[in-house]
Amino acid sequence: MAKVTQKLAALQDIDLLISERKAEEDLGFSTAGLENLEEARAKLAGEVDGRFLRMYERLSKRYDRAIVPVVGHRCLGCSLVVPTSKRKSGEDRATGALVTCESCGRILFFV
């Protein structure tokens, strides 16, 4: 997995943890550590290029998982077969752009 993709995947994990903590708060449970998660998210988001961060945030509003693995040449977000031309290591080495699914638009990483 490429470096930008790794950071975005970690950001996704933190976002999921934050949403779980907020759901627990709605049920009346303690949310100890929520501030730490939000600080870690802000720090990690600051390390990611703005265009990739905007892409991730736009996708995360639409999907629970904006970044999904490719297994058996299929996007695990929508199950579409990823074309051979997109089967790279996660980032297009020539342009530095992230590889996205042609069907659902999610950011892909290759297992």
- What pLDDT, in 10s, does the model give residues 83-95? 888 876 545 544 5
Cα dihedral 33→36→37→42 (10° resolution)? 160
* DSSP assignment letter at 97: P
Q: What is the pLDDT of residues 45-101, one digit of tens each?
A: 999 999 999 999 999 999 999 999 999 999 999 999 998 888 765 455 445 578 999
Instruction: Classify domain 3-110 at the CATH class level.
Output: mainly alpha
- SS3 string of 29-82? CCCCCHHHHHHHHHHHHHCCCHHHHHHHHHHHHHCCCCEEEEECCEECCCCCEC
In sequence order, the β-bridge partners of residue 108 are 68
pTM for the model: 0.82
Task: Locate the domains of the chain by residue range.
Answer: 3-110
